[in-house]
Amino acid sequence: MEEVLVKCERLDHFGRGIGYVLGKIIFVPDLLPNEEALVKIILDKKKYMVGEVVQLVKKSNYRIEPKCPYENCGCALKSLDYLKTLEFKKDKIIDILKRYGEIEGVVKEIVFSRNIYAYRNKITLKVKDGKIGYFKNGTNDLIEINRCEIASKKSNEIIKVLKNSDLSNVREIVIKDFGEVMLIIKGDMNIEELKPLVNSIYINDRLVYGKKFLIAKLGEFKFYVSKDSFFQVNMDVALKLYNKVLEYLDGGKSVLDLYCGTGTISLFLSKYFDEVTGTEINEEAVKCAFLNKDLNNISNVRFICGDVSKEIHHLKADNIVVDPPRSGLTNEGINDILKISPERFVYVSCDPMTLARDLKLFKEKYKVKEVTLFDMFPWTYHVESVCLLIRK
């Protein structure tokens, strides 16, 4: 395909360079602001193009040599100076809140990650034709890897062993590393060499070796982690984020922790509220939440297993924290929160677009007081937002 010279004007929300060629916008992964490159056009649509850098002609002062050699993996910002990646994420959230939520002047700071490499406690590896790696963004094309710089040290030791194993009948391997390690394998393989490295192995949802649950330590609490339950991927940043939720809620009589996962936020809140109610749809996560409550000798927390949009009709509290999946809140959920009308409402979000959409619907009755951002996923374009809303 045709090659063109592109000057990068800025980054889009996915960390891709933006330039213009013949009046049409072009998105180029791994091209930084003010850089120029010879770019191969790989997609030419009516309104936009996508390109691939063939040769860098002018280099940014903020370009760094990435530790990871693989192109098109999930770390879209890995060639940019870390402090600049934080600036990018803050500007991106400011822009999204303004454009889609009509909210301005509320983003306070972005909290950095102490570990910018080896920070992930969970990775999902894909296997194709016996080779292991990640799928190229949005495709089923495998990028074969030898290691992953954001995965834990133990995960990389396991990858080394996997690369010398017969994976011809395997489709996917999840590694969870919380000090104790779990492997979740889809397909079939010989696991003898893996056993000394891990505490638990599941094959096709069946426990075939070791413990059913892992135990993760976060702050003063311990948490059971199961095969399918959600846990924040970066422990250092998760702790900082939960402390911000505590600071924003400021204690009180009762609080709802909606979308509570294994009950992490609920347990953190239990010291500062008389009553805490967590609600979560994943049965296994709720089982862990009950176990976590007992493991930490906590009595003022209860958990409900169910869909927040349905359960919330029966609930009441002075304060609410929500931490929904990427899809954000449902309209019913928003209406019910408005009916409950808590004094303080904290919204934890991993998707700024749905956050902006939802915050706009609270605007009439709530003031967005402050938003703090957390770099839970260094080198990727993702960022966690914690927003404090106060009833008007």
Ligand X SMILES: C[S@@+](CC[C@H](N)C(=O)[O-])C[C@H]1O[C@@H](n2cnc3c(N)ncnc32)[C@H](O)[C@@H]1O
Q: Tell me, letter by letter, the H, E, C secondary structure of 289-319.
A: HHHHHHHCCCCCEEEEECCHHHHHHHCCCCE
Find the distance separating the first CA and the last CA of the chain, reported in whole Å.
57
Report CA torsion sign: 358, 348, 134, 213. Answer: negative
51 binds ligand X (CB under 6 A): no
Return the number of the residue (274 or 307) whose C-beta is nearest ligand X. Answer: 307
Instruction: Quote the Cα angle for 117-219-300, to 5°.
Output: 140
Return the number of the residue (231 or 248) whose C-beta is nearest ligand X. Answer: 231
Return the number of the residue (39 or 238) whose C-beta is nearest ligand X. Answer: 238
231 binds ligand X (CB under 6 A): yes
CB of 258 to ligand X, least distance (A): 7
Q: Give CA–CA dist 237/383, Å, rounded.
A: 11
- Number of chain residues interacting with ligand X (CB under 6 A): 20
307 binds ligand X (CB under 6 A): yes
Q: CB nearest ligand X: which residue?
A: 261
Of 57, 176, 91, 198, whose CA–CA distance to 125 is shortest? 176
For residue 208, give the 3-state DSSP assignment: strand
Binders in 256-295 for ligand X, by CB under 6 A: 259-261, 264-265, 279-282, 285
Measured from the Cβ of residue 390, the count of other Cβ atoms closer than 10 Å reads 14
Return the number of the residue (56 or 281) whose C-beta is nearest ligand X. Answer: 281
230 binds ligand X (CB under 6 A): yes
CB of 154 to ligand X, least distance (A): 21
CB of 125 to ligand X, least distance (A): 22
Annotated catalytic residue, options 8, 148, 350, 387: 350
231 and 288 Cβ atoms separated by less than 8 Å: no
288 an active-site residue?
Answer: no
Q: Give the x-and-dash track for 324-353 against ligand X (CB under 6 A).
A: xx------------------------x---
CB of 264 to ligand X, least distance (A): 4
Return the number of the residue (155 or 282) whose C-beta is nearest ligand X. Answer: 282
Q: At what angle do helices 331-340 and 352-362 cross, to 10 degrees?
A: 40
Q: Give the x-and-dash track for 118-157 against ligand X (CB under 6 A).
A: ----------------------------------------
CB-side neighbour CA atoms (13 Å) of 241: 31
Looking at the DSSP assignment, which residues form a beta bridge with residue 367? Answer: 390
Which residue in 218, 308, 334, 388 binds ligand X (CB under 6 A)?
A: 308
Tokens of 282: 């994943």
What type of residue is 291? Answer: L
Return the number of the residue (70 or 178) whose C-beta is nearest ligand X. Answer: 178
383 binds ligand X (CB under 6 A): no
Q: Give CA–CA dist 177/174, Å, rounded.
A: 10
355 binds ligand X (CB under 6 A): no
Q: Which window, 92-100, 145-153, 225-233, 372-380, contacts ligand X (CB under 6 A)?
A: 225-233
Q: Give CA–CA dist 373/59, Å, rounded.
A: 29
Q: Which window, 98-106, 109-117, 194-202, 323-331, contacts ligand X (CB under 6 A)?
A: 323-331
Return the number of the residue (37 or 260) whose C-beta is nearest ligand X. Answer: 260
323 binds ligand X (CB under 6 A): yes
248 binds ligand X (CB under 6 A): no
Q: Which residues of 297-335 are buried (b: 16+ CB within 10 A; e: fewer)?
A: ebeebebbbeebbebbeebebbbbbbbbeeebbbeebbe
247 binds ligand X (CB under 6 A): no
Report CA torsion sign: 143, 150, 349, 307. Answer: positive
Q: Give the position of tokens 């296997």.
A: 127
Active site residues: 350
Binding site for ligand X (CB under 6 A): 230-232, 259-261, 264-265, 279-282, 285, 307-309, 323-325, 350
